[in-house]
Structure 1
């Protein structure tokens, strides 16, 4: 039987383009977590907010924020994930970091760049998905706008993932789409889904309502929080995941294709 997985999500305001203030604030929030947890999830661009000012704010892959993540992951004895602005070979990326307690890490570059906000004018797109293992679970983390593209998030019957994570700066004006697409990803992929969004206004006076959600493989909403900051820990049931896939073996009937 698959183990359970304990995750903690931090729905928070972010200080606009202020790396030091965000790291200090998030460090304090993490230290306030009382429960033991396997994974701590932070928002998209958690050190800066969703800004196009990459030339001023970008860090190297092993820069200050990544070193901070390594220190905090070791202290919390938990994986920490979220995305930051990275410069790599003279290109800027909205890069998710998957930081383990031992200081080793994986990365995922946001594949779908938000053209409406001109993200594609500043950042380079990623070209491959990330699959990571934690406590016997296979996890697929993605970033914000990726949520709108189900083929990119599509589970594969030969190697299905168990948990889909989306970290975001998703504006309140399109929160209906966020609250609709997250359950859809859970149902169609028969997996747990964690959608973590920020709250509050950013530096462009765009309001974010949070609406972070945790959803079971059958589409049941296990957690939903709007507008307020929150730190929430939940234990995801491996038995529930296996039951849903055994009782409703839909993945085996899917069409066979892959994005090359």
Structure 2
């Protein structure tokens, strides 16, 4: 992939609590559906292999990286010749430590890993906090990863854009009760950074109390929604032209005009 045009997809899916085999089967079917429609870059939701509300089993379900699920991701990327982004429970270096971690893989293997830095509610008890904002250079474009709740934090997205990201990806398990935040943030993060944004969300209800919003989105650098899902298992696609990134950043030069010393100097 060395062209500026690329077809991207977000996989929106329900998951079964703790059932990795069934969840990977579901993800595979939806990925295959996206590939049949020409997708070259595909994002699946947060904790797509385990489901989200598995807090009692985080340690047992967490995997080393590389590990079983990341091997599956790489093999899937090889089979379909795609770039695949997904988010899993990662075993930390120390026993009992778990991270909420997003990965980007290609047919060549794992190209990037990001550990969630802004944790929602009980995630502060479940997970350790990441400490880096990597950007993955794929040759044809650069990708920055965030996860779910972080779509409401401009800082991470801005750091990634300043590091060169053209595309921001958000594997998510975002709740329906706060859809109003998702609605604004999925457009705002794209506009203020002049990036394409792919937000892949969960659907369904877990433990009878956590209902996910769905409404996965692909957004252009102007903050316009190119494609949006409903509230069922679904695949959405869009053709993007990375030349629009530079064009929008000249149209409204937020990154150029940002006083980085003033803004970031307050946090040193």
* TM-score range normalised by the length of the shorter chain: over 0.9
Please say if 1:25 is aligned against 2:29.
no
| Counterparts of residues 1-260 of structure 1 (less than 5 Å) | 3-32=4-33, 33-50=35-52, 51-52=54-55, 53-89=57-93, 90=95, 91-114=97-120, 116=121, 118-155=122-159, 159-257=163-261, 258=264
C-alpha contact (below 8 Å) 1:2/1:239 kept by paired residues: no
C-alpha contact (below 8 Å) 2:229/2:236 kept by paired residues: no
Deviation at 1:99, TM superposition (A): 1.0
What is the root-mean-square deviation in Å for CA atoms of aligned residues? 1.9
Partner-residue secondary structure (3-state), 1:25: helix
Give unmatched runs, 5+ long, in structure 1: none
The TM-score, its normalising length taken from structure 1, stands at 0.92
C-alpha contact (below 8 Å) 1:8/1:39 kept by paired residues: yes
C-alpha contact (below 8 Å) 1:2/1:242 kept by paired residues: no
CA deviation profile, 1:72-117 (whole Å, cap 9, x unmatched):
0100101111110111222111111111112233210011111x2x
Matched positions, count: 258
Deviation at 1:243, TM superposition (A): 2.0
Partner-residue secondary structure (3-state), 1:10: strand
The TM-score, its normalising length taken from structure 2, stands at 0.90
C-alpha contact (below 8 Å) 2:135/2:164 kept by paired residues: no
Q: Aligned partners of 1:112, 1:157: CA distance in 2, in Å?
A: 18
Partner-residue secondary structure (3-state), 1:151: helix
Partner-residue secondary structure (3-state), 1:59: coil
Q: Which has the higher helix share?
A: 2
Q: Aligned partners of 1:223, 1:67: CA distance in 2, in Å?
A: 30
Deviation at 1:156, TM superposition (A): 6.7
Give unmatched runs, 5+ long, in structure 2: none
CA deviation profile, 1:144-194 (whole Å, cap 9, x unmatched):
111121112215776432111111100100011111111111111111111
